[in-house]
Amino acid sequence: MKILLILISLYFLSFTLEAQQQDNFCGTDTPTQQWENVFAELIKEFKSTPPNLTSNQFVEYTIPVIFHVIHSGQSVGTFPNIVQAQINSQISVLNHDFAGTGFNYNTYPSNAFVQWAINQNLPTVNLDSLGRVKIANINIKFCLAVKDTLVNNLPEPGINRININSRGWINPNTFTTPQTLRAYYDNTIKPGSIWNVRKYLNIWLSDKNAAVPFTGFATLPPLSTLPGITGGGEGTETTDGIWCYSSAAGSAFIFPGGIYASPNVRGRTITHEAGHYLGLRHIWADGNCLTDYCVDTPPAFTSNTGFPVYPLNPGSCNNPNNAPNGEMYMNYMDYSADPAKYMFTYDQAIRMQTAMLNSPFRNQLGTHGLCVAVLGINNEENIIPDGYELKQNYPNPFNPVTEISFSIPEQTNVLLAIYNSLGEISAVILDEVLSAGYHKVNWNASDFPSGIYFYSLKTQKISITRKMVLIK
């Protein structure tokens, strides 16, 4: 009898542990080879930007987000109609994860993938100071939209609550297969609620049936509006964006008062799907040891779940070989539990930056004044800066006016100039002596063509350059 009770206890304990690890299975479509071929050409063009100006520095983007919270009349705070604070915690997760500073990034082993990187002869730009595959800063930020499609102020920033009963829609939790759930979203819910895909990242949150195994899915960035390039999961005017199970959104670590599928939910479902939204593939590329088209992600035999330990499965793939350091289970594009993941790589950053620059549904995001500027300038008028800093222009991309902020710790002559993609001076914004402090200037590019530009801050002691994008 004791043995029977022990077996029963272990049986239920296994289910409890499985529920608590909350693996994030994904329903995003695998890109077609034709889509990948087009993307590869765009990446090649992106990498050809003049190195004397970029210094491997990415453009900083800020993406306005609108969460469509789908419910059936529940009060705010009752599942699936989650509260503002839980959604706020998701934005915080995205911003840290895409900056390379996720809450657990410092658990990266000190020798992670060092020997594999040497064996693969990875370029130094893909590595950190320890020789590890680098945890990349993607330079993409997310903010809660403060205005709706009619430019009215939103009562709850970033939230559009939708009662399905008032729309005559079926509850999403009645669909018992991934195919039927996604089809209902793509054919009914998304077209009936989507906001302009060139202005907002649309994220839908709802309940789901327990029989549906995944907790999120996303659309891929369309690379053109030409016929023949679509058909592999690209977003359209009526479907572009991300869906996530409501209790997989937000972070129990940041906002413990939310409604979560597991205490281990840390918001990495939406981080994962945002990766797809910006052009990333699964780390195992939806097959055995296939390529995700990033040279700095070791191949994986299949997806990983739960809480793996480094090194994981060294030698599981041999073309290229992932020995002796194994698979990158801590990458956001794997299925490991939320607390086990903490990184994107430099090549993944290149893909996402390329999508932001080139996709017609991505390259105008952040240019419509739908978010409060994230400039980090608060009560600075009476503060002397500790050093020189040139901030990312805002908005970016822009049309036709953008603001450039910088700080100098001493009185000095300042040259602030604009360069085109060939390195030629397009405009001189400032060439004068300025006092120590924080400064802002606007650049009106009405007379300049669309394209990539660089702005450079120069004094007798420093020279700092950043990249910006003008889209008309």
pLDDT of residue 240: 97
Residues in the chain: 472
CA separation for the pair 70, 49 (Å, rounded) = 43
Tens of pLDDT along 118-146? 999 999 999 999 999 999 999 999 999 99
Pick the range with the lowest mean pLDDT from 66-75, 212-221, 227-236, 401-410: 227-236
Backbone CA torsion sign across 367, 369, 373, 374: negative
Backbone CA torsion sign across 43, 45, 49, 50: positive
CA separation for the pair 271, 354 (Å, rounded) = 18
The alpha-helical segments, DSSP class H, found in 101-144 are 114-120
CA separation for the pair 231, 223 (Å, rounded) = 12
3-class SS shares of the chain: helix, strand, coil, % to 5? 25, 20, 55
pLDDT of residue 276: 96
pLDDT of residue 12: 31
Both tokens of residue 130?
A: 């320890």
Partners of 472 in beta bridges: none
pLDDT of residue 320: 87
pLDDT, mean of residues 370-397: 66
Both tokens of residue 445?
A: 């590019």
pLDDT, mean of residues 313-318: 96
**What single string gives the DSSP state of each residue in 210-267?**
TT---SEEEPBPP--SSTTS-SSSB--TTT-SEEEEGGGSS-TTT-TTS--SSTT--S
Both tokens of residue 324?
A: 């002796």
pLDDT, mean of residues 450-468: 94
Pick the range with the lowest mean pLDDT from 24-38, 47-61, 136-150: 47-61
pLDDT of residue 384: 63
Rounded to 10 deg, the angle between the 84-99 and 268-277 helix axes is 60
Q: How many CB atoms lie within 10 A of CB 3?
A: 7
pLDDT of residue 199: 97
pLDDT of residue 24: 64
pLDDT, mean of residues 53-78: 86
pLDDT, mean of residues 275-301: 96
CA separation for the pair 120, 297 (Å, rounded) = 11
Torsion, Cα 332 336 338 340, to 10 degrees, reads -90
Both tokens of residue 108?
A: 């990266």
The tally of CA atoms less than 13 A away on the side-chain side of residue 238 is 9
Residue with tokens 């049986």: 11
Grade residue 372 by pLDDT with cuts at 50, 70 and 90.
low
Grade residue 236 by pLDDT with cuts at 50, 70 and 90.
very high
Q: How many CB atoms lie within 10 A of CB 34?
A: 14
Whether 354 has a pLDDT exceeding 80, the answer reads yes
Pick the range with the lowest mean pLDDT from 92-106, 189-203, 342-356: 92-106
CA separation for the pair 379, 310 (Å, rounded) = 45
